Chain A
Amino acid sequence: MTKEGASHGAESTGPPLVVEKRSLLRRAGGMVLRWREASILLAGVILAAYFQSTNPAFLSISNIENLIDYTATTSIIAAGEVMVLVCGELDLSAGMVYALSPFIMHFAMTAGLPAIVAIIVSLVAAGFVGLVNGAVTTLLSVPAFVTTLGTMFLINGLTLTISGGFPVQPNAAAAIAATFGGDPWARLAWSLVIAIVLQFVLNRTRFGLHTIATGGNLVAAREVGIKVRSIKVRNFALCSALGGFAGVIDAFRIGSIDPLAGGSEITFAAIAAAVIGGTLLTGGSGTLIGAFIGALVLGILKDGFTLLGVSAFTFDMILGAAILATMTVNVHLTQWRERGET
């Protein structure tokens, strides 16, 4: 990477510019620091080691399945939030779409559609909510916070209305139920595949590049001709569809579709996972793998404290403090990283 810079310098006749000269040690250190997910991964490993030392059952297969329960669906919604955050927006409604979409699936199945088609219909309906979020935000210039706050209440009300407030049972063939969330390892696989595929999309495709550009510098993105509205709408739709998919997965996991499931709690857990993982709320920068690890760390905290017998009330305080501590460290690490590199 430094080679071109050096050769440029050698050929030139003008005043010398900054040419990178860094020691091997600093470069190695820099690589660890540059890898944004490193700090959150380290925190996860330390927490896991601590809980394992206090309770040897922590890393048992059955508890790892518990950890997956805590992590998988949150991380799927977090993946959607990362995309929306990177393009410079925010989605508060994803957790409500999470509750709505399994009902759509249920109604589609009751109407006689095959399970797979019903799942697709529910995802399309979920994506449509995102389309509305995106259209209102970009075309009517309403801040995404307000738009999605509105749809958050709206979708919640809609779910309660169409369900009559009562839970229903999803009926699908055993294989489909297992694939779409009944089996814990299938849940883990979905969440990992989604994180990895979207990481690729964000970093290696035109759409991802334009998403970063839109969130990083809206004016510049518009000036070079990127269709910033379309980019935002598509990310909102993607986020909602992922929220809906997470809802479908949890419906098959729990074996019941609850109109009161998810809600703003899972939305904020997902946003927290994204932010803890290294995604900026200011746009232009984010990591899907980091969000997955962020959701895992939240899962480890929740599961570990449950094993320790910490009450749910204390747990929220500890969680809050943990988010504050992680974020403070992260912010300063980022500043340090930037100073170190110039």
Chain B
Amino acid sequence: MPASLGPEVLRTEHVEKSFGRIAALKDVNLRLHRGEVLGLLGDNGAGKSTLMKILTGYYQPSAGQLYFEGTPIHFRSVSHARSLGIETVYQDLALVDQLSVYRNMFLQREPVFGGAFGILDERQMRRQAIEMLERMQVRVPSVDVDIAKLSGGQRQAVAIARAVYQKAKVLLLDEPTAAMGAKESALILDLIQRLKEGGDIAMIIIAHNYAQIFDVCDRINLVEAGVIAFDKRTSETSVQELTDTVVREYRSARELVHRQQQ
């Protein structure tokens, strides 16, 4: 973990988001620095995914301000946020089973020779895909096999490699190890660790299983009832403290439900 933090890349100030009369986010103040890995935890419905959608430009906040690299910013759309270097790897990975690894890695950004239909520069795609995967130490049987032939971990790794290759400054990973065995998860966590050591990219990992991602994170934010209820560096906290916090939050939520029922 870096002793001093890099420059700030992303910040939200008093961000709120409501849908009709329901306030999904009440007052979110999130900071993310270059080279930092932030674990974003929270129960279903806590506002975690709403926050993520605001960071990727899918939603616009009802109130509050976003800052990107220190300047106020308004993400007009997902592609706007993406053009600034905010890449997301969704749970569905956005890979096409019927296409080879290298074709997936260049999907919608294919190098072409030109012509009305755009003749693909297959050689360049293949070569760059191999280089890219080698540099990130992602191992697949071959870049020529169809994505359908890869394991869950390999697919996730290819999707991450693709996002990083788009010159991502901020990488959002939505449950990167969900529905994955221990070995496969370790593979992905290793990859995240290597990216972090590269130091250029900031990552937000959205996860349920905080014990699994704890070691790879620099900081943990816990979203609860539309606010960040817990914000600590992993060097100053522990899985135990996190568990205690989550349990406490859970109990108070249950008490609230009980009171409402009475």
Q: A221 to B96, Cβ gap below 8 A?
A: yes
Question: Is A5 within 8 A of B140, CB to CB?
Answer: yes
- Point out the residues of chain A lying under 8 angstroms from B141, CB to CB: 2, 5, 17-20
Residues of chain B contacted by A213 (CB below 8 angstroms): 96, 99, 107
Name the B residues within 8 Å of A116 (CB-CB).
Answer: none
In the complex formed, the residue of A with least CB distance to B190 is A14
From A201, A205, A224, give the contact of B94 (CB < 8 A): A224
Cα–Cα, bound, A9→B154 (Å):
13
Main SS at interface, chain A = helix
Establish whether residues A204 and B108, one from each chain, have CB atoms under 8 Å apart when the complex forms. no
Indicate which residue in B93, B139, B144 contacts A9 across the interface (CB closer than 8 Å): B139
User: Cα distance A2–B99 when bound, in Å?
Assistant: 17
Check: A262 CB closer than 8 A to any chain B CB: no
Interface size, chain A (Cβ < 8 Å): 37
B204 to chain A, nearest CB (A): 18
Contact A209 B140 (CB under 8 A): no
Q: Tell me which residues across on chain B come within 8 A of A2, comparing CB atoms.
A: 141-142
A206, CB-defined interface residue at 8 Å: yes
Nearest to B129 among chain A residues (CB) is: A4
Distance between Cα atoms of A204 and B183 in the complex (Å): 37
Chain B interface category by residue count: 35 or more
**B97 close to A (CB within 8 Å):** yes
Q: Which residues of B are found within 8 Å of A212, using beta-carbon distances?
A: 96, 98-99
Given contacts A216-B96, A225-B108, A284-B97, contact A205 B119 (CB under 8 A): yes
CA distance A33 to B94 in the complex (A): 28
**Which residues of the other chain, B, contact A201 by a CB distance below 8 angstroms?**
117
B149 to chain A: which residues have CB within 8 Å?
Answer: 341-342
Q: How far is the CB of B218 from chain A (nearest CB, A)?
A: 22
Cα distance A4–B138 when bound, in Å?
12
A15 touches B (CB below 8 Å): yes
Measured between beta carbons, the chain A residues less than 8 angstroms from B97 are 216-217, 284
Residues of B within 8 A of A1 (CB): 142, 144
In the assembled complex, B130 has its CB within 8 A of some CB on chain A: yes
Provide the residues of chain B in CB contact with A206, threshold 8 Å. Answer: 110, 112, 117-120
**Cβ contact within 8 Å between A209 and B139:** no
In the bound complex, do residue B98 and residue A204 qualify as a contact, i.e. CB atoms below 8 Å apart?
A: no
**B207 lies within 8 A of chain A by Cβ:** no
B137 within 8 A of A: yes
Chain A residue nearest to B90 (CB atoms) is: A223
Report Cα–Cα, A2/B95, bound state, in Å.
22
Task: Check if A204 sits within 8 Å of B187, measured CB to CB.
Answer: no
Q: Mark A215-239, 1 if CB is under 8 A from B, else 0.
A: 0110111011110000000000000
Q: Is A336 engaged at the interface, CB distance under 8 Å to the other chain?
A: no
Q: Hey, which bits of chain B sit against chain A, CB under 8 A? A: 79, 90, 92-99, 103, 107-108, 110, 112, 115, 117-120, 122, 130, 133-134, 137, 139-144, 149, 151, 154, 183, 186-187, 190
Give 8 new A-B contacts, CB below 8 A, not counting A204-B120, A217-B96, A220-B95: A2-B141, A11-B137, A18-B151, A201-B117, A207-B118, A213-B96, A226-B107, A342-B149
Q: Could you write out 19 A-B pairs with CB less than 8 Å apart?
A: A8-B134, A8-B140, A14-B139, A14-B187, A17-B139, A18-B141, A20-B141, A201-B117, A204-B122, A207-B117, A207-B118, A209-B99, A209-B103, A209-B110, A213-B99, A223-B92, A224-B107, A225-B79, A226-B108
